[in-house]
Amino acid sequence: MKKLQKESSCQVTFSKRRNGLFKKASEICLLCGANIGIIVFSPKGKPFIFGHPNIETILDRYFSGSLAMDDYENDSATTETSLCFQELYDECEEALEKLKEEKKRIEHTKEAMKNKGEFWWDEAIDDNMGLEELEAYLKAIEELRNNAARKANESMMCDVVADSGGYFDFGIAADAFNFDHCPSQDFGAAGQL
């Protein structure tokens, strides 16, 4: 499973699957009496909301639970926030990688030219992929930054954003989803109820 390249089919798929998702959610609500809130941002950033009984109720409950939690697990920093942290960390890793690659590329090119006495641009044209790659990456991470930057200092729980685009290093296993390896922090034990 991969990101759909074709814009049109991507949109169609998004629309269809979003409906499917909401339908599934409503079925769970009906069958089990669960309460569910879903917030979906389309690839273009348009939000779609599902909420039963309504989104505000869900968020209220979520936050009251989260706040109650703050005291409880103040020491273990590995909570929700660390999920953000991981995302950002991954981005940083990626950036690092790119920096290194680029650096190597430059040095290599430089070496090659010293030995061969060729001009830069002759080499560069053949070996221009690094730069293009870099450019694409810059675009991606810039988007990330733009989404994140505004709220970096003012937002609610953890203020930064990582993401979206083509990666998704989620362990989508072959057959079934393996949620097992996820740090399922059950803060239920501590929670209300």
DSSP result, 53-94: S-HHHHHHHHHHHHHHHHHHTSS---SHHHHHHHHHHHHHHH
Rg of the chain over all Cα atoms, to the nearest angstrom: 23
Helix axes 80-116, 129-149, angle to 10 degrees: 150
Pick one of DNA, its own copies, none as the site partner of residue 136 (Cβ within 5 to 8 A by kind). Answer: none
Residue 73 neighbours by CB distance under 10 Å: 13
Q: What is the DSSP letter of 174?
A: S
To the nearest whole angstrom, how small is the minimum distance from the Cβ of residue 29 to its own copies?
4
User: Does the footprint of its own copies cover residue 165 (CB under 8 A)?
Assistant: yes
Site string for its own copies, 143-162 (x = CB under 8 A): -xx-xxxxxxxxxxxxxxxx
Q: Pattern 5-34, binding to DNA, x per CB under 7 A?
A: ---xx-xxx-xxx-xxx-xx--x---x---
Binding test (CB under 7 A) with DNA, winner from 175, 181, 189, 192: 175
Q: Which of residues 47-76 bind its own copies (CB under 8 A)?
A: 47-67, 70, 72-73, 75-76
